[in-house]
Amino acid sequence: MKFLDQAKIFIKSGDGGDGVVAFRREKYVEFGGPDGGDGGRGGDIVFESVENLNTLIDFRYTQHFRAKKGGNGAGSDRTGAGAQPLVIKVPVGTQIFDDERENMLADLDKPGMRIVLCKGGDGGFGNARFKTSTNRAPRRADKGWPGEERWVWLRLKLIADAGLVGLPNAGKSTFLKAVSGANPKIADYPFTTLHPQLGVVRLSMTEEFVLADIPGLIEGAHEGTGLGDRFLGHVERCAVLLHLIDGAAGGVVDAWRTIRHELEAYGGGLSEKPEIIVLNKTDAMTPRELSSRKAALAKASGAKVMAICAVTGEGVKEVLRALQNVINESRKS
């Protein structure tokens, strides 16, 4: 299934049903009078978050959603049938913005959340509503009120407990595949990952968390360089960031500073999130190189630096435990 994390759609709630002009005609009743019923209410547009979706790809092919009109009234004071709401199902983590993308209308970040975005129009009055002491036989009936319509933007921000960030070829996809059941594409060229990937990491029978891998960032990503920084939205909800750095490539301090700069430029509170710094590819470094690069990175960042080899599994369990500890703390608060 292809991944799509934003889409623009048109929504329109149903118009109200029309009221009718009708008069009571019954044997032995000399003065029947008006009995035209009201129109029914139009259908609402409802968005609902569901757990079994993880992409907005369906909205690439269906972009217009219109709820049904309410039923017209009838004689004998019969009200028209109200139309059923049109329920649009979206993945958990979907945000809904107005046409200008400036105002967020809804944030469906939990399963089963529902929001009525466009209310159906009210039904028009039938002529029975207009009967008065001086107007015994009104011939007036109202049309139903029109429904609401608008264009909206849907943006998906995946729900994950931890997020992987780093330069291209830092080994993020390899790490995700090693610790979870995910099967991301892995190759020896940059930007192998073109869209976010999710994996479930299970440390024990009672401990697990969701890990998100996003495409690699490069210098100037916040200005659109490379794949840009749009995918950083998928780690905004994470409790902790795992900053993976290619230790074998050298220049580890510059690599760390590049990603930190992009996180600060993006905003969204990413630069304030807890960060676990990990040097990857220890199998391609000598012990002396590993020691010096860890020391340089620790001095620059002011934080503890861990080292792993995602391919062999060396040090991976310690990193996962550190992630789980941070996540457990965030879940308590």
Binding site per annotation, positions for GTP: 166-173, 191-195, 213-216, 280-283, 309-311
Specify the 3-state DSSP secondary structure of 97: strand
Q: Are 264 and 256 in contact (CB under 8 A)?
A: no
Side-chain half-sphere CA neighbours of 189 within 13 A: 2
Q: Are 246 and 167 in contact (CB under 8 A)?
A: yes
Cα dihedral sign, 172-174-180-185: positive
Partners of 155 in beta bridges: 6, 95
Residue 116's H or E segment, with its range, is strand 114-118
Residues annotated in the binding site for Mg(2+), as ranges? 173, 193
Specify the 3-state DSSP secondary structure of 294: helix
**Pairwise CA distance, residues 248 & 243, whole Å:** 15
Residues annotated in the binding site, as ranges? 166-173, 191-195, 213-216, 280-283, 309-311
Structure tokens at 144: 């139903």
